[in-house]
Structure 1
Amino acid sequence: MRIVFLRHSLLNRGGDKMIATHASFLAAQGHDVVIRTNLLKTVFSLDPRVRVEPLPFPGKLGTLVTAALSRQCADVVVADIVVLALLLSIRNRKRVLYFAQDYDESYYRFTLQRLFIRLLYGAALSFLRVRSIAVSKRLAQLLSQRFGAKVGLSENGVDTTIFYPEPDPDLIASKQGRQALLLLSRSDARKGFDIAQRTVAALKTGLPLEIWTVGENATGGFPGFLHRDFGYLDESALRRVFSSADLFLYPSRHEGFPLMVLEAFACGCPVVTTDAVPYAEHDENSLVCRIEDAHGAAEMVEILLADVTIRRRLAENGKALASRQTLHQASVTFADQLGAWYAN
């Protein structure tokens, strides 16, 4: 098959990683795979057989115009943003597949914006009957119940050849007996970095503590705490940071099937998160609080920092889940779902 992935950008987010991974797997299986994008700036590797082509019109508007006006030379055109799936359907009819990595309405906080996105979903999934593959059972159920969509399932996974316990002696020594609380810094409100800041401010523990952040620059975001900002890391460096941290705090507001929690699990790093993460099980593989509950999250952080036995138990159960939820199997399932869709 000739498969085109059309998206505005390929960057360093979890969704970008799944596109790069699935495209590479399909190319290795002998398919003709093209990623068409306006912006390629990613740390994730692509199989050399995957071709990357620039879109004919620049900018976000150019991406939308391309989706609406261009007939793609492909058997399957994959879009992971619903507006692109809808626009691609104008010229490409039944060859469009919507790869649902999250519910796009969650990107927006204002009612009119959310209603508009919901109308786009209705047009794409209910009226045009664009078929979909979702990354979680929860998301597949939402699309099916709300829009009557035909939805396959391909859950995300973690590469356990890259993410595994590997504490960095230099990082461990640099803590000088302190415990390190790791956070993701991201301006996207869905990831809850502002909640993480409120959680840290609410901590009452007297234990020596320092804050580590990865992602966007967070300098000055944690007054009163020793703070180390690692920025964007490649996967091997991120593995060592996860493995050297004492706890990963991820107070997300909305998720499809997040990779960072799985990666923390695979590295043996205990996790405090919210019930937005579909595979997080309270007191089984993580401690789970309600969305927006910074004080509840702070209490859970304090519990884990004070009790190494609980941390070890959660870490072992997290590693067991990660070992079953592999990235390779995710790509196999995605390819099977795509093949079954194309055959019908």
Structure 2
Amino acid sequence: MDVANWHASDDQRRSEARTALGIPSKTEIVVYHGRIEVYRKGLDMLMDAWQHICEERPGRNLRLLLVGTGSDAEKLRQLIAKKQLPGVIWKNEYICDRTIIQRYLSAANVYTLPSRHEGFPVAPIEAMSCGLPVVATDAPGVPYIFPDMELSGGIIVPREDSTALAEAIGSILDNQSWGHELGKRARDRAEKFFSLEAIGKQLREFLLTNIG
């Protein structure tokens, strides 16, 4: 990741992003960006978790921001309608422009990755580079990104457990200072382990050790 070109979000950057997206400044936002594949990406679990989050916090201005599209777009649309989920904002299209992706991430309070299957996911590292705390499932590849869990800026929950997902996301929404601290740790982790400089250093050390 070119972490230097992904800017950590602060109150001003978040406010500017929300204004650009037409979202009220006092809203509490959970964001997911990636392919819309309901089973693989665990979006059915996220919908269950979101329903629980909203039911537990009546009167709060909550939004679930989904960014992306895919083969299951219609299936997800039907799921949202069937559950009558409140506060869902969905940008149903592929977005490759890094500036636009950053705007969506900067508008949020917390990023979530509810996947059942992953390889090595890049999306949470993009969120970390924007200084967002991450709540993710223990899909393959994810524990490597957050080896020390909260100390690495992320909370990992079991796959197939929408209640645990809801509780983890809710714990950040309910404690703003904790969310800020996790976001700082996430940004630090991205800089130290996933930046161009960090990967270059690791590659150099590997080559020197194995060739030498």
The reply to whether TM is greater than 0.5 is yes
TM-score, normalised with respect to structure 1: 0.48
Other-structure match for 1:178: 27
Other-structure match for 2:166: 298
Q: Does 1:162 align with 2:23?
A: no
- Given that 1:187 and 1:193 are in contact with CA atoms closer than 8 Å, whether structure 2 keeps it comes out as yes
Q: Does 1:261 align with 2:124?
A: yes
2: distance between equivalents of 1:165 and 1:326?
14
- Given that 1:205 and 1:302 are in contact with CA atoms closer than 8 Å, whether structure 2 keeps it comes out as no
Q: Structure 1 residues 336 and 255, CA, compared in 2 at 3 Å: closer, same or farther?
A: farther
Q: Give unmatched runs, 5+ long, in structure 1.
A: 1-157
Q: What SS does structure 1 have at the residue aligned with 2:3?
A: coil
Quote the offset at 1:339 in angstroms: 11
2: distance between equivalents of 1:221 and 1:210?
17
Other-structure match for 1:194: 44
One-letter amino acid of the structure 2 residue matched with residue 308 of structure 1: Q
Quote the offset at 1:337 in angstroms: 6.9
- Given that 1:178 and 1:208 are in contact with CA atoms closer than 8 Å, whether structure 2 keeps it comes out as yes
TM-score, normalised with respect to structure 2: 0.74
Structure in which a larger fraction of residues adopt helix: 2
- Aligned pair partner of 2:189 in 313, 321, 332: 321
Structure in which a larger fraction of residues adopt strand: 1
Other-structure match for 2:199: 330
Q: What SS does structure 2 have at the residue aligned with 1:213?
A: strand
Q: Structure 1 residues 335 and 175, CA, compared in 2 at 3 Å: closer, same or farther?
A: same
Q: In the TM superposition, what whole-angstrom CA distance separates every residue of 1:252-307 from its partner, at most 9, and x where no partner exists?
A: 22333321111111101111112221222333211221111111110111111110
1: distance between equivalents of 2:173 and 2:190?
22
Structure 1 or 2, whichever has the larger Rg, is 1
Q: What SS does structure 1 have at the residue aligned with 2:132?
A: coil
2: distance between equivalents of 1:315 and 1:247?
8
Give the number of the structure with larger relative contact order, counting CA–CA contacts within 8 Å between residues 6 or more apart.
2
Q: Does 1:227 align with 2:95?
A: no
Q: Does 1:282 align with 2:155?
A: no
Q: What SS does structure 2 have at the residue aligned with 1:202?
A: helix
Q: In the TM superposition, what whole-angstrom CA distance separates every residue of 1:138-178 from its partner, at most 9, and x where no partner exists?
A: xxxxxxxxxxxxxxxxxxxx211332225354542433222
One-letter amino acid of the structure 1 residue matched with residue 2 of structure 2: D
One-letter amino acid of the structure 2 residue matched with residue 195 of structure 1: M
Quote the offset at 1:219 in angstroms: 4.3
Quote the offset at 1:340 in angstroms: 9.7
One-letter amino acid of the structure 2 residue matched with residue 232 of structure 1: Y
2: distance between equivalents of 1:283 and 1:337?
28
- Given that 2:133 and 2:183 are in contact with CA atoms closer than 8 Å, whether structure 1 keeps it comes out as yes
2: distance between equivalents of 1:221 and 1:335?
48
2: distance between equivalents of 1:268 and 1:221?
30
Percent identical pairs in the alignment equals 23
Quote the offset at 1:308 in angstroms: 0.5
Q: Structure 1 residues 286 and 329, CA, compared in 2 at 3 Å: closer, same or farther?
A: closer
1: distance between equivalents of 2:115 and 2:45?
8
Q: Give unmatched runs, 5+ long, in structure 2.
A: none
Q: Structure 1 residues 313 and 340, CA, compared in 2 at 3 Å: closer, same or farther?
A: closer
2: distance between equivalents of 1:170 and 1:225?
24
One-letter amino acid of the structure 2 residue matched with residue 312 of structure 1: H
